Amino acid sequence: MRRPRRPAAVPWDRTVRSAVAITAALVGAHALAGPAGVPVAVAGAVCSVNGDHSGPARERAARFAAVLAGGAAGLLLGRSAPSPGWGQVACMVAAALVAGLVGSARPADQLFGLKLMVLTAIGTGLGHGPGAARTVALYGLGCAPMGLLIVAAGCRNRRAPAPPQGPSPGSARGPVRGRPEWRAALRLPLCVGTAAVLAEVLRPDHAFWLPLTAALAFRPADASVLRRVGDRVAGTVLGVPAAAVAAQFLSGWALVLLAALVGALLPGATDLSYALHTALASVVVLVLAVPGLPSGGAVLTARLTDTLLACAVAVAVGHPWRRRPAV
């Protein structure tokens, strides 16, 4: 008889850091830059939370630096693209190519590529928002609370006796690239580029969301494209209606409480399921970090349709090309 699966332990360290980081970024951005500065700052906070883990402070610092550098580079690239226009497609393909090329490197390098790709998409969607320098500054402001928490943890560790440690999971060198790795690396820009072209044709007014979703749904190294896509769709179906309700009825300090609550739930939900992670991230991003968010049924229709289209592209591009295991 199979024993019931034990529930995963709550990652209390990451739970506290996530709640503090997202809440502090929201309040700090509103105080220092006003409502217009909140979306990019919250995006920075969510990226820093997603890059956090429970390892040594040195590894966490390396991952944080990758999130900060990749996101800043992505915003600069995205803001440099003509808006709207096919230049945005070229920028998205370039960012996805870099992300694909570092896909089998160290975890910090993978984070750099992912945030480069994601923030390029967000940067192209800012329209007539803040300029490139101000956008990067706001992103850094959103990442700053997590950076301060990492510095504080490092200071505590230096005062404590250091136990012996083995090699870190991210210290090994990645595999030497051959033809299969290059083919896998090229699937990501093909996937994101296809989604970006569809967005330019179908949704020129909100062209960033479709390639952004494709970038998050598709992973060249993922063992199951179909499972990840299924989780992405399920999480969106759960999260988008909740976000639409929250955007309709919450304002002021209620949004601060929402950020703290979702921030606290995000690390544990991420450990349990990518679908739960997507649902909670949808609430934070759609309520706080997407400029020009439509209301009511427009949210449900546009976001769900874009998710289905992006996931269909991820399956069409990614699944048939997967390597079969050697016999």
3-state secondary structure of 295: coil
Highest mean pLDDT among 44-53, 80-89, 287-296: 44-53
Q: What are the residue ranges spanned by the domains of the chain?
A: 12-157+180-318
Task: Give the pLDDT confidence score for residue 172 in this predicted structure.
Answer: 40
For 180, the token pair is 């299969």
Q: How much of the chain is in helix, strand and coil states, percent to nearest 5?
A: 75, 0, 25
**Span 21-39, average pLDDT:** 92
Of 96-100, 172-176, 289-293, the range with the lowest mean pLDDT is 172-176
Is the predicted pLDDT of residue 281 greater than 60, yes or no? yes
Task: Give the integer Cα–Cα distance in Å for 131 and 191.
Answer: 29
Q: How confident is the model at residue 6 (pLDDT cuts 50, 70, 90)?
A: low
What's the rounded Cα separation, in Å, for the pair 99 and 220?
10
| pLDDT tens-place string over residues 202-255 | 887 777 888 988 988 887 655 567 888 889 999 999 998 888 888 888 888 888
Say what the pTM is. Answer: 0.86
Cis peptide before 11 (omega within 30 of 0): no
In whole angstroms, give the CA distance from residue 120 to residue 70.
9
pLDDT value, residue 184: 64
The answer to whether 321 touches 270, Cβ cutoff 8 Å, is no
Conformation bin of residue 292: beta by default, left when phi > 0, alpha when psi is -120 to 50: left
Residue 164's CB is within 10 A of a number of other CB atoms, namely 4
pLDDT tens sequence across 111-156: 999 999 999 999 888 877 778 899 999 999 999 999 999 998 888 7
CA distance linking residue 237 with residue 275, whole number of Å: 9
